[in-house]
Homo-oligomer: A and B are copies of this chain.
Amino acid sequence: MATQQQEAGLKEQLAQSIEAQGLKVRQLKSAKADKAEIDQEVQNLLALKKELALLEGADPAKKASKPAKSNFTLKTAKGTKDYNDKDMAIREKVFNTITKVFKKHGAVTIDTPVFELKEILAGKYGEDSKLIYDLADQGGEECSLRYDLTVPFARFLAMNGKEYQNIKRYQIAKVYRRDQPAMTKGRMREFYQCDFDIAGSYDSMIPDSEILRILVEALTNLDVGKFTVKLNHRKILDGIFEVCGVPEDNIRPISSAVDKLDKLPWADVKKEMVEEKGLAVEAADKIGEYVKHKGGRDLLDLLKKDEVLMANASAAAGIKDMETLFDYLEVFEVMDKMSFDLSLARGLDYYTGIIYEAVTEKSAPPKLAEGVLPKKKENGELDESTVGVGSIAAGGRYDNLVGMFSGKNKKGQPNLQIPCVGVSIGVERVFSILMAKQKAEEIKSTETEVLVIAVGDGLLKERMAIAKTLWDADIKASYMFKNKPRLDKQFDVCEKEMIPLAIIIGKDELEKGEVRIKDMRSKNEAQGGGVTIQQADMVKEIKARLEQL
């Protein structure tokens, strides 16, 4: 315990820190710094203030006598939420649909820890590294919550590369980002990712085409409405940048600018290239000519006639890949879903081959299709309420990521290099689309098939015995947890939980060894008394009725 004198010193220091931090926030605000950065510093300021408040109210005697704090906020942490039974019923349907497609294509699943050593994640996410959640230093290793499932998968391959030179794996799990949450757009700090990747050295474009076929199957089965898969190739894009005169060290920044074309008009992107990133106006204009193209085979033919572009080794290689890919996609009958789109760039640095992004009508910007552009806020930032939720799936080829983990040999080459191609389905967006389609009260969250109901004197043990017989026969059965439940309350349970069948027992029936079965969804039986049968035939009769549901 600190002495009074020490505590006074601490308070003074804290007060100074608060003043300094306040100044910092004001400076950032007047400099119109990034909103997330300001928010972060404001949070730090509030934390300091809270600490001081605690110290000022810190009476040790009081502290000791108080067990757990009685005044606390009853909520989930910022950017996280609970999923209730109805949400989960939809979620399970989505996961099952997707998993079924993945397994049909020979996938296995693996599971990696929620946190990784901090250094594993370091240097993988560029600017977005600031969004990584760290664990507190409680002694021992420095760890961070995973940011995606791709880096842990690459780490797994680097560790187990001898056994797993070839693997088709899927993983459905939560990832963590300290981003500004936007609940209405489904942007959370904790959210599910659903990844399928094919790792291994194979002949060109074969796994790539299967990934795209899988994506089309999954989105079709998920019933998310009409969708398009935008498709491009990093080598073509890099070739275009080269022939347009972008200096090598400016290629990734210019690529990031192009990536914004789905949210911003060309004029704004050009401005970013020229004014912020120092690109020559003519170079930007040349790029503008290329990236406006989209199509299918026709676009490929157009590019092949472009002699300047075909003379560029990178572009030529990319175009050859695309030609092979299109051949395979035709065999798989999914070319009608593809849009070869030269404006697609994808933010992540680690892609090395084809890249893609699926958009649905519902995930596209609400009015962009009609030519209405998103609005900006006063501070110049994009007003997110005027932008769509973005892509519902995305991915690409990344041949060098595993090598980043494998260490280097004497020649400076990675010890192990496993090429990969993968896709991540944005399941949270899929949920939003599907939840919007359904009324909560229409979602059945239990699977209960039969409610065992008593007329008259409760008959608890008798209801239990019948439920037991049904459970033994693998029938999903419940009964009310009351000694003497009212009849109308029991019928209410059937209705509320959407239980299709009821078994009704009374003293008379039991004495005769009978039960009544009532179909709760059929007007005739539900209003009438149901059908009376021998108790010995009960399981058979129920099973027959369930098969007809």
Contacts and interface: CB of A to CB of B under 8 A. Distances in A.
Provide the main secondary structure of the chain A interface: mixed
A31 B16 contact: no
Interface residues of A, number: 138
* Most-contacted residue by chain B among A110, A190, A209 (CB, 10 A): A110
Contacts of A145: 114, 135
A183 interface: no
Interface stretch (A118-126, A238-246, A391-399, A514-522): A118-126
Contact of A9 (B27, B76, B134): B27
Given A2-B31, A72-B122, 5 more contacts: A61-B249, A70-B407, A76-B113, A136-B136, A203-B483
A454 B391 CA distance: 38
A482 B203 contact: yes
A24 interface: yes
Contacts of A82: 110-113, 156, 159-160
Q: How many copies does the complex hold?
A: 2
Given A156-B82, A174-B114, A481-B203, A408 B331 contact: no
Interface string A56-82: 000001001101111011111110111
A24 B1 CA distance: 14
Contacts of A75: 117, 159
A17 B20 CA distance: 7
Interface in A83-131: 83-85, 87-89, 91-92, 103-117, 119-120, 122-124
B404 A465 contact: no
A190 B136 contact: no
Contacts of A190: 113-115
18 contacts: A1-B31, A3-B31, A6-B30, A13-B21, A16-B16, A43-B139, A47-B139, A67-B404, A68-B124, A69-B122, A73-B117, A82-B159, A82-B160, A105-B476, A108-B445, A133-B135, A135-B135, A198-B481
